[in-house]
Amino acid sequence: MKKFALALLLTLASLPLWAQSNAAAGNADLEVEKRRLSTEREAIEKRFVEERAVCYKKFAVEDCLRESRERRRKEADNIKRQETAINDIQRQRSGAAELQKLDQKAGQQRTQDTPEKQQQSSQNQKDREQRAADHANSRASTAGEAAEREREFQSKQKTHADEQARAAQRKTEAPGLAQRYEDKLKRAEAHKADRERRNANPGKPRGAPLPPPPPEAAASSPAR
């Protein structure tokens, strides 16, 4: 029974702290816990719908939606782990009750059994407990692996979305960059052509001086 108790404690680790002590003592109403988790899941979905409506009113829509989806995923995973733990406890309680019945029946039978049969019965009991413990450990390991695969998938999705956003930004900026590059080439061509004209006429004066005034204009000037 020690191995069976160990498997039960491993399952309890997935429950909230306040529920672990009750469940370990056999006092937890697991059906009430299931209804509570169902109510929490409905609240999460309702809030997710409301957050999506708010996100579509913001400038950074995709960032807002991504954060909302991530928050929803984490909360849903937590509820799923608790539900799995509750289901395991229910099965283990049922199994423990069945084992108790078998123990009682075996106890009555052992009073009439030979030492060899008593030893075999004890070994069979240990084998059943080991199988129950292995099953609980396997389920806990599978749940952890599934959560890890989900985190990796969400990380890849985020990386892909970021790359798409950067590609869209580059596409938006491309026409402006092309126009600036073309303007730069035109200015360089114009500067080159101007320099070649100056080099082709290095001695050309900037402008001829004005001629002197005619004699009539000088004679008509009053004497001072």
Domain positions in the chain: 2-178
Q: Which two tokens stand for residue 189?
A: 């061509």
Q: In this predicted structure, what is the pLDDT of residue 70?
A: 93
pTM confidence score = 0.36
C-alpha to C-alpha distance for 5 and 193, rounded to whole angstroms: 92
Phi-psi category of residue 49: left, alpha or beta, with phi > 0 → left and psi -120 to 50 → alpha: alpha
Beta carbons within 8 Å of 96's beta carbon, 6+ residues apart: 4
C-alpha to C-alpha distance for 1 and 96, rounded to whole angstroms: 9
pLDDT of the chain, 224 residues: tens digit per residue: 444 444 444 544 545 544 544 444 454 688 888 899 999 999 999 999 999 999 988 888 899 999 999 999 999 999 999 989 888 888 888 888 787 787 777 666 666 656 777 677 778 888 888 888 888 878 777 877 888 888 888 888 888 888 888 877 777 777 777 788 888 888 888 888 888 888 887 665 555 555 666 665 444 445 44
Q: In this predicted structure, what is the pLDDT of residue 5?
A: 44
